[in-house]
Chain A
Amino acid sequence: MSSTPELAERKGVYRLVVAEDAYLIREGIRSALEREVEEVEVLEYCPDLGSLLRAVEADPPDVVITDIRMPPTNSDEGIQAAATLRKEHPAIGVVVISHYVSPHYALKLFEDGSAGRAYLLKEHVGHRIQLMEAIREVAAGGSVVDPKVVDVLVEARMRAKNSLLSRLSAREREVLAGVATGASNAAIAESLFLTKRAVEKNINSLFAKLDLTDDKTTSRRVRAALLFLADSDLEAGPDL
């Protein structure tokens, strides 16, 4: 490819490398990204971890979209790729696409930092807004977690008695879920039909109730919220 980073910057085009071993999914991603030709340019489609890393070395993209489970071992190559890129190319954003709703994989992805990382369920790749938001967010160093992963956690936490979540108001829980997905205060405000000021108030209040420190960096806030939701040891005792 001949385009240079400066050119991409000027044009506002995200240069991508996509890694996905399953043909049907890969074609799905291709169709989804072809809609976004004005904003996205795919440098290469790779079928496994090795070819992905080689493609990145040959021509570093802005964002990598990678399947979580690929050859050679079919376990968590996508997360390995993210960890490798964190060291070798910290500027590259990574969107890991996965079948797994389990937060384990998202948390694992965030283990060495959540900046520039997104965890998206594969079935949502076709969703134009979600996909583009994830790409834009990681390119800018932000974090995104698929709302469904967060929903499952919140649901499980709400089922448990004595959950700290029961101290939150319904509105605060919605805001927390939004925070955990990586949405900005403005985005949360928009989706919940609130003012940005009201969102900030809710965030301050819920972080205080949960004994969490509100971090102004969105990507770290995502991780903190997600960790909170995922950590079943943090149930409140009856004396609290």
Chain B
Amino acid sequence: MGMKASNKIATFFKYFVLILVGVIMIYPLLWMISATFKDNSEIFAGISLWIKKPTLDGYRNALNNFGGSINILQAMLNTYSYVIPKVICTVVSACIAAYGFGRFDFPGRKLLFNIMLATLFLPQVVLNVPQYLLYNKFGWVDSPFYLAIWVHCAFATETYFVYQLVQFMRNVPRDLDEAAAIDGCSSFQTLYKVIVPMLGPALVSCALFQFMWSCNDFMGPLLYVSTPGKYPMSLFVKLSMDGDTGFAWNKILALSLISILPQLIVFFCAQDQFVEGISAGAVKG
């Protein structure tokens, strides 16, 4: 057997394994799409993609507007009306906080950094009630601008991102800061003229993570939004899920499918930067 033939066989097997794993990974998503056209008994009968009795009820019911108070389009608009400020606040505040911890030596820096890291280990569940009481005092519960959901992000409360950016900043040589200082940059100018451009991929990954988490967040909106007209997508999808009397899964799946489309588009647009961002922070400890 010649070299060429064995190469071909090797390539064949590589592709075979890759395609096989790829199909296994994407299968649930394909199944979800096919299940939006099935009825309940067919959905639970098996995992085949084949649709025996196709129905469009799922999509028809997805347009239900709950007595005119909320529809799918409004719910999507509502979602992005707090997700976008949340993402911007998170990125800006996390970047500034990371700059402080990464580049300045001030008294108590280590202690403060440790305290901040400790908050990373606080589960959201224990914060729910105290936070709710606090925001209730502020009058932010059911605020038309979703204040309780996003304002806290302006204060670098998303520790995970601060930590990620501090690690990433270590890879940016201090020489650049010094060069900037010699050229007459103030601390803030150094940050946004020198460091932020270098941090690009890391900031994109922060923004993407926060975007996905915020779109998927259910408990936050459930606690702080009470007016049906202001419900975001995560609440809207679940409105019909009454475990007691049962519900049509095709509607839920159709809604879920529609609601993840914008997320998929955003992800694909930022994919290259995103993957770079994740791996870049990991190389140097």
Chain B associates with chain A: no
B-side interface residues toward A, CB under 8 Å? Answer: none
A-side interface residues toward B, CB under 8 Å? Answer: none
